[in-house]
Each structure stands twice: as structure tokens, then as C-alpha cells.
Amino acid sequence: MTHVIVLPGGGYRRHAPHEGEPVAAWLRGLGVEASVFPYPVLTRHPAVLDAVRGEIRRVRDAGATRVGLIGFSAGGHAAAMAAGDADLVILGYPVVSMLLPTHKGSRTNLLGPTPSPAERAATSADLLVTAALPPHFIWHTAADASVPVQHSYLLAMALAAAGVRHELHVFPDGAHGLGLAEGSAGAERWTSLCEDWLRREGFIA
């Protein structure tokens, strides 16, 4: 049985509803078991990472043979940080680097107002990539002003350098936080592209 854990965004301050259950329902419609995990917010690292890893273990113990993560924005950061414990990762406009000036809200809520350079580097997903990571599907919009597409480029370049299977889609238009992106020209194609990718990766028949 395959199972995908959904991690909504929200700047590590809240959980965005449109990036939770609607995404899980879309996955179930594809024949994939899916659940939304309300990871802890307004708490310092590594509480979120520990919680996501614990949820992966719980889903495996419940009978899932392969476990995927799908995360958006700050939830994408959480998914990227826990990628080594999963079998597949899907990221929508993820926060990746804590060294970049963006997204300050996520950084402050996760690391506090004055994190050290070492703390910021230790929570930058692109700097933690190894060849052992599972396949990644990443999508972003070039027009995202809140979490610039540079975040996804940094991660994709690190995955490429490590030889990790990945697919990156950048759409020219669309604001941050699109979720399923229904009705958003161009970006709405991410779900069909991801469905094809999930089939090629053997997550759905």
C-alpha cells in the first residue's frame, strides 16, 4: 500500500486549509492513500522534523509499504528536511534555504528572531542533499514574490549534483500559495504532471 502524508504551508505559524484536505482528496482520487498531518507550529527546530519523522514511522507501522510526502511552502520545507525518511517527495513552492533573506516568517517561527549562520545552514534543505534521497517532484511559479523560485532552483541543483532523480516545473505566472492551482493558467497543470510522475515512479497503477 502506498500512502502520502500531506504537509500544508502556513509559515510555521498555521496550517493553510486549502493545502491540506483538498490535496489529500485529490490523491485519494488517484488511488493513493493520503492523510493530512498537522505538524507542530510556533515551535523551534527540530520539533517539526521530529514530528514528521514520527508520522512517517506511524504510517509505515500501520501497513504502508511506501510512504511519500507532499508539502507546500513551509510544509515543503518540512517535507524536504524529512525527505531521507520517505520513499518519494512532492514539493509545491517550497521554502528551501534558510540562508536566503526569504521567507523571513518561516525562518523566525522555526529558528527564532536571531538564528546563527550555523543554525540557518543546518536547516537549509539544499545543503543537506545526499545521493540517498528519494525521487523529488518540485513545482513553483516564477512570479512568486513571497518564496522566490530561487528556493526550488537551489534544491534542484543540489539534487542534480547528487544524482537524485527529480522533476522540476516552473510556471511563469501565479502568486504564492496556489495549492491545487485550479483555474490558474499554466500552474494548474502541476497536478496532471504530478499524476504522470507518480505513475512512472510506481506509486499509482
Find the CATH number of the domain harbouring 138: 3.40.50.1820
Domain count, the chain: 1
In a domain, 205, yes or no: no
The answer, yes or no, to whether residue 205 has pLDDT greater than 90, is no
Q: How do strand 66-72 and strand 2-7 relate by DSSP bridges? A: parallel
**pLDDT tens, residue by residue, 29-87:** 999 999 999 999 999 999 999 999 999 999 999 999 999 999 999 999 999 999 999 99
**Residue 41 lies in domain:** 2-200
Q: CB-based contacts of 150: which residues, under 8 Å, 6+ apart?
A: 97, 100
Does 26 fall in a domain? yes
Distance, in Å, from the CA atom of 63 to the CA atom of 151, rounded to the nearest integer, reads 34
Specify if 107 maps to a domain: yes
Q: For residue range 144-196, what is the model confidence (pLDDT) as tens digits? A: 999 999 999 999 999 999 999 999 999 999 999 999 999 999 999 999 999 99
Residue 192 is assigned to a structural domain of this protein: yes
The pTM score is 0.98
Short-list 72, 115, 106, 74, CA closest to 91: 72
* pLDDT at residue number 187: 98
Q: Cα(first)–Cα(last) distance of the chain, in Å?
A: 11
Q: Are 150 and 104 in contact (CB under 8 A)?
A: no
